[in-house]
Amino acid sequence: MYRAWAPVYDRLLERLFRPGRKAATRALALRSGERVLLVGVGTGLDLPLLPSGVTGLGVDLSPSMLAHARRRVPPTVELRCGDAAELDVPTGSFDAAILNLVLSVVPDPVPVLRETMRALRPGGRAVAFDKFAPEGRPVSARRRALSAMSTIFGTAVDRRLSDILADQPCRLLSNEPSIAGGQYRVVLLRRTDEPWTKIAFRG
Q: What DSSP character marks residue 78?
A: E
Distance CA 45, CA 10 (A): 8
- The answer to whether the beta carbons of residues 187 and 130 sit under 8 Å apart is yes
Distance CA 45, CA 53 (A): 18
- Own/partner pairs for 27-35, CB < 8 Å, 24+ apart? 27/127, 27/174, 27/176, 27/186, 27/188, 28/96, 28/98, 28/125, 28/126, 28/127, 28/188, 29/125, 30/54, 30/96, 34/95, 34/96, 35/93, 35/94, 35/95, 35/96
For residue 195, pLDDT over 90 is answered with: no
- The answer to whether the beta carbons of residues 128 and 189 sit under 8 Å apart is yes
- Own/partner pairs for 49-57, CB < 8 Å, 24+ apart? 49/21, 49/22, 49/25, 50/25, 50/74, 50/77, 54/30, 56/94, 57/89, 57/94
Given pLDDT bands bounded at 50, 70 and 90, which one contains residue 10? confident
pLDDT, averaged across the chain:
89
Does pTM surpass 0.85? Answer: yes
Residues 6+ apart with CB under 8 A from 125: 28, 29, 95, 96, 97, 173, 188, 189, 190, 191
Give me the domains of the chain, ranges plus CATH numbers.
Answer: 2-191 (3.40.50.150)
Q: Given this model, what pLDDT does residue 144 score?
A: 62
**The pairing of beta strand 184-191 with beta strand 170-177:** antiparallel
Q: Given this model, what pLDDT does residue 14 score?
A: 84
Q: Given this model, what pLDDT does residue 66 score?
A: 95
Please report, in angstroms and rounded to a whole number, the separation of the first and last CA atoms in the chain. Answer: 30
**Mean pLDDT on 27-39:** 98
**Element spanning 122, H or E:** strand 120-131
Give the pLDDT confidence of 69-99 residue by residue, as tens digits. 999 999 999 999 999 999 999 999 999 999 9
Q: Given this model, what pLDDT does residue 137 score?
A: 75
- Provide the percentage of residues in the chain whose pLDDT is more than 90: 72
